[in-house]
């Protein structure tokens, strides 16, 4: 299975591409914004494609052709304003969803925010609310398609070494999770067809990632 990793140059994306390239059944196509970002992925033997999420839908669709799955790991980042949040986390996500449909790609994995419910929007701090709104409507858009989707809601991200152990369910207590473990969760999600049509929250825990995904 060839997997287009959207946001490949991000911290989760880099871990994910590395794990995919180490797997026996998957291969990665890394979607990056700048040509100078390509060397990291080329050293892993991964294909790269230079596309900006603010590009037109046709360009994104072309990047999606020839793959079997799309994983959206992109994000506008904490230092951008609401305008970039809407352009990347909402419009960019929707364009990749539509690109998958146009290119005939059925499998789609969305890395969302921990809680994207209406209650989460209403209770979010003013500075964080646009991000929750963007993720909320991107999730809504994906649920409304006939894609074989999975929506992953990770807890607060950190850069600690992954433990390989998590807690995953439709609803879990808030907590943290290393980005490396999120990438492993994505990998196991791609390898397990039982995750199709499901969404779940995930934080650090005491269950192996493989077992946690298997039990969803």
Residue positions annotated with a catalytic role: 131
CA distance 154 to 163: 15
CA distance 108 to 161: 26
Beta bridge partners of 188: none
Query: Would you give the DSSP letter of residue 86?
Result: I
CA distance 138 to 214: 26
């Amino acid at each position: 299975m060839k997997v287009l990793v959207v946001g490949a140059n991000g911290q989760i994306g880099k871990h994910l591409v590395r794990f995919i390239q180490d797997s026996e059944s998957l291969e990665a196509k890394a979607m990056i914004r700048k040509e100078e970002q390509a060397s990291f992925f080329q050293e892993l033997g991964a294909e790269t494609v230079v596309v900006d999420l603010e590009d037109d839908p046709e360009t994104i669709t072309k990047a999606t052709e020839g793959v079997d799955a799309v994983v959206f790991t992109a994000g506008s980042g904490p230092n951008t304003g609401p305008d970039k949040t809407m352009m990347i986390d909402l419009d960019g996500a929707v364009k990749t969803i539509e690109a998958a449909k146009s290119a005939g790609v059925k499998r789609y994995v969305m890395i969302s925010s921990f809680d994207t419910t209406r209650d989460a929007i209403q209770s979010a701090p003013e500075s964080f609310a646009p991000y929750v709104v963007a993720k909320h409507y991107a999730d809504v858009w994906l649920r409304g398609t006939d894609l074989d989707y999975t929506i992953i809601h990770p807890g607060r991200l950190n850069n600690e070494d992954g433990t390989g152990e998590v807690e995953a369910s439709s609803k879990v207590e808030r907590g943290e999770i290393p980005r490396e473990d999120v990438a492993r969760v994505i990998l196991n999600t791609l390898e397990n067809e039982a995750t199709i049509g499901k969404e779940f929250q995930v934080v650090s825990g005491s269950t192996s990632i493989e077992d946690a995904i298997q039990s969803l």
